[in-house]
A = this chain, B = another copy of it.
Amino acid sequence: MAERSLLNQLTGALRCLPGVGPKSAQRIAFHLLERDREGGLRLAHVMADAMTRIGRCRRCRTLTEHEVCAICANAQRDASLLCVVEQPSQVVAIEQAADYRGLYFVLGGRLSPLDGIGPDELGLGQLEDRLEEGIGELILAVSPTVEGTVTGQFIADRALSHGVRVTRIAQGVPLGGELESVDGGTLALAFAGRRDF
């Protein structure tokens, strides 16, 4: 066939989904076409809408279709608490799991000069404005990797220079984690951070 069939086009386009190879793409295409066209059509419309309309919150830089996200716009949230995370997905994870009622600031990455990611790319100027507005506590929830730690240190220094209290979420053995399968670095941190029973 000279012309590519619509089915082939769909199978090809599905490859943009993470972890979807040629076989899965085919399976998904047939599933939608034969069993759930309504779901596929709804997904197509929502996806087109989301890809074009979702941008970044002007205040916290998380993903939202509004100028200011629902969390920043919520007057019930405690504006004296600011939790700094790397990615919008971490905002969602914390909202789903923790009983946190403060605000967020999304860096969008970690300091990595070699990859051209400096303070500007992470919106640190904007974070500086938030520190100047005055907050009570800045909670670092960056990943405990080398770059995450460096980024956290940088932000902590800025916050401390504004007289803002800085905390970091606890590191240790995960809930339900088998001690023998936890890496040595984590175990060492868990020991150093032990508390009275």
Which chain B residues border A14 with CB–CB below 8 Å? Answer: 43
Which chain B residues border A44 with CB–CB below 8 Å? Answer: 43-45, 47-48, 51
Which chain B residues border A27 with CB–CB below 8 Å? Answer: 18, 89
Most B CB atoms within 10 A — which of A17, A33, A52? Answer: A17
- Copy count, this protein chain: 2
Mostly helix, strand, loop or mixed at chain A's interface?
Answer: helix
In the complex, A63 has a CB within 8 A of chain B: yes
Which chain B residues border A43 with CB–CB below 8 Å? Answer: 13-14, 16-17, 44, 47
Contact B47 A1 (CB under 8 A): no
Complex: A92 Cα to B16 Cα, angstroms: 21
Question: Which of chain B's residues has its CB closest to A14's CB?
Answer: B43
Complex: A41 Cα to B74 Cα, angstroms: 30
Q: Give the contacting residue for A1; candidates B30, B46, B50, B70; CB below 8 A.
A: B70
Question: Which of chain B's residues has its CB closest to A92's CB?
Answer: B26
Q: Which of A6-38 contact B (CB under 8 A)?
A: 6-7, 9-10, 13-14, 16-18, 26-34, 36-37
Chain A residues within 8 Å of B, Cβ to Cβ: 1, 5-7, 9-10, 13-14, 16-18, 26-34, 36-37, 39-54, 63-65, 70, 74, 87-89, 92
